[in-house]
Amino acid sequence: MHSATEPGRLRPAVTAPTPAARTHGRGFWVVVAVFAVLMAFTTLPTPLYPLYQQRDGFPTFVITLIFAAYGFGVMAGLYLTGHVSDYLGRRKVIMAAASMELASAIMFTLLADTTSLLIARFLCGVGIGALTATATAHLSELRSVARPREDGSFASTAAGVVNTGGLALGPLLAGLLTQWLPAPLTVPFAVWVVLIVIALVAMLFVPETVPEDTVRPPYRPQQVHIDDSARPVFAATAVAAASAFSVLGVFTSLTASFVGGTLHHHSRLLSGAIVFGVLGASALSQVLLGSRSVGLRLRTGMALMATGLVLVATASLSQSLVLFVVAGVLAGAGVGLVFNVALATAARVSSSEHRGGTLAGMFLAAYAGITVPVIAAGLALTWFPAVGVLATFALVVLVAVLVSTGRMIALDGPGASHD
């Protein structure tokens, strides 16, 4: 038997990572962390809405307006700035978005009136609108340098997990920070002021992936760049993403009111934990199944969302907390898989020079789904009981989910051959 040092013994070639690969690899994980911190901030107020309602004396409908202010801010950020990182640079836009989140966090910390709350939520949304597509594109490009032999699925899965996983952490950490500590409407936001400052400093050390000599075109608002042959796939995927995010919108905006008002459980930690379960299941399903075929992810996501939505309607009518939690976890897991496919599809059909714009278009559709249905639900709560509103919403979204994901499957699971 030959030893490892004998002449003639063939050894596998090992290529050491280049300095650029190492730098971009570290940058990838920094952007993951920054992305997570900023996404968690967006859901930080979720279990606190009843406290704002108690402080300011507004009806439940105003809670949906506050949430809608965030959604409209996201859409404004996507429409106005979601594509500019394609030529201004990913790092610059991420740092600008983080600065917007910092301003919002400072407002939450120092100001105490409903108008300021609305403005702070809108600013938060604008920052996230600029962030989501930019950070997703940045992660893809950093990973392509750090791991050039990968097919891109890891970066897409990481972006989807961080997006929904960060959203999941916000309500849970807010519940933990406010259940027993004083000043529940100040402490969590003060903590995030510090975290966002750290994130801004960390971004200074992340490589830029857009060449400095990239031609800067005349500014115009967001346009989605999709080849004509890919439009049917992209349209079906965008509708599915909107339907999926509408589920997240209702859970993040109305869970505290439903659990506290209808079910009479007033623990902020409980409300935060429920939303964490919904959004955490969304992230976990992507981790577990993110590398499986598109067809499997779509069918599994559709089945989980359909089952969860049926159980949401049942839980609201029976006023069962346990059933409501189970419904949220199942629906959230399905949302994660559908959103994962949506991101991968948007990245696949986009050209490199328009990737930020295409991803912004996908997020624009998703956040339209998270905003418009929430406003409709809030209006309905003005005249109808929460039980009936939740049940009706669940059934309407169920139809949209089945139609859109069914269309995606009929189109051969967008990009199935590319997995």
**Tens digits of per-residue pLDDT, 208-236?**
999 888 888 888 887 666 666 667 777 77
Residue 183 structure tokens: 């000043």
Q: Which tokens is 6 given?
A: 């004998």
More confident residue, 235 or 35: 35
Residue where the block lists tokens 């859901």: 43
pLDDT above 80: residue 285:
yes
Question: What CATH number does the domain located at 20-208+223-414 have?
Answer: 1.20.1250.20
Task: For the chain, give the percent of residues with pLDDT over 70.
Answer: 89
Q: Token pair for residue 317?
A: 């009518």
Three-class SS string for the chain? CCCCCCCCCCCCCCCCCCHHHHHHHHHHHHHHHHHHHHHHHHCCCHHHHHHHHHHHCCCHHHHHHHHHHHHHHHHHHHHHHCCCHHHHCHHHHHHHHHHHHHHHHHHHHHCCCHHHHHHHHHHHHHHHHHHHHHHHHHHHHHHHHHCCCCCCHHHHHHHHHHHHHHHHHHHHHHHHHHHCCCCCCCHHHHHHHHHHHHHHHHHCCCCCCCCCCCCCCCCCCCCCCCCHHHHHHHHHHHHHHHHHHHHHHHHHHHHHHHHHHHCCCCCHHHHHHHHHHHHHHHHHHHHHHCCCCHHHHHHHHHHHHHHHHHHHHHHHHHCCHHHHHHHHHHHHHHHHHHHHHHHHHHHHHCCHHHHHHHHHHHHHHHHHHHHHHHHHHHHHHHHCCHHHHHHHHHHHHHHHHHHHHHHHHHCCCCCHHHC
Looking up tokens 């089952």 gives 307
The pLDDT of residue 5 is 47
What pLDDT does residue 353 have? Answer: 63
Q: How far is CA 145 from CA 94, 349, 414, in A?
A: 19, 20, 26
Give the pLDDT band of residue 3 (cuts 50, 70, 90).
very low
Sequence spans of domains, the chain? 20-208+223-414
Q: Are 366 and 245 in contact (CB under 8 A)?
A: yes
Least Cα distance to 160 among 22, 322, 397, 338 occurs for 338
Q: Which of 174-183, 187-196, 197-206, 405-414 has the lowest mean pLDDT?
A: 405-414
CA dihedral for 157, 158, 159, 162, sign (positive or negative)? positive
What is the sign of the dihedral through the CA atoms of 199, 205, 211 and 215? positive
Token look-up 């090992």 returns 14
Q: In the predicted model, is pLDDT for residue 90 greater than 50?
A: yes
Query: Is the predicted pLDDT of residue 188 greater than 90, yes or no?
Result: yes
pLDDT, tens digit (0-9, with 9 covering 90-100), for 232-263 = 777 778 888 888 888 887 777 777 777 877 78
pLDDT tens-digit series, residues 371-385? 887 788 777 877 887
**Which is more confidently placed, 176 or 4?**
176
Of the candidates 108, 82, 302, 308, the residue with the CA atom closest to the CA atom of residue 189: 108
Q: What is the 3-state secondary structure (H, E, C) of 277-321?
A: HHHHHHHHHHHHHCCCCHHHHHHHHHHHHHHHHHHHHHHHHHCCH
Q: Which whole number is the average pLDDT over 398-411?
A: 81
Split at pLDDT 50, 70, 90, the class of 325 is: very high
Amino acid residing at 36: A
User: To the nearest whole percent, how much of the chain has pLDDT over 90?
Assistant: 29
pLDDT of residue 349: 66
Average pLDDT for residues 269-294, to the nearest whole number? 86
Cα separation, 295 vs 332, whole angstroms? 19
Cα gap 190→35, rounded to integer Å: 18
Predicted local distance difference test score (pLDDT) of residue 250: 74
CA angle 100, 369, 79 (to 5 degrees): 45
What is the per-residue pLDDT for 62? 84
Per-residue pLDDT at 196: 98
Residue 394 has what pLDDT? 82
Q: Mean pLDDT, to the nearest integer, of 56-73?
A: 83
Query: Is the pLDDT confidence value at 415 over 60?
Result: no
> 29 pLDDT exceeds 80?
yes
CA atoms lying within 13 Å on the CB side of residue 96: 17
- Gap between the Cα atoms of 256 and 376, Å rounded: 18
Cα separation, 55 vs 66, whole angstroms: 15
> What's the token pair of residue 333?
């897991």
Write out pLDDT tens, residues 331-357.
Answer: 999 988 988 887 777 767 666 666 666
Query: What is the spatial distance between Cα 28 and Cα 207, in angstroms, rounded to a whole number?
Result: 9
Give the model confidence (pLDDT) of 136-159 as tens digits: 889 999 999 988 888 777 887 888
Confidence at residue 416, expressed as pLDDT on a 0 to 100 scale: 45
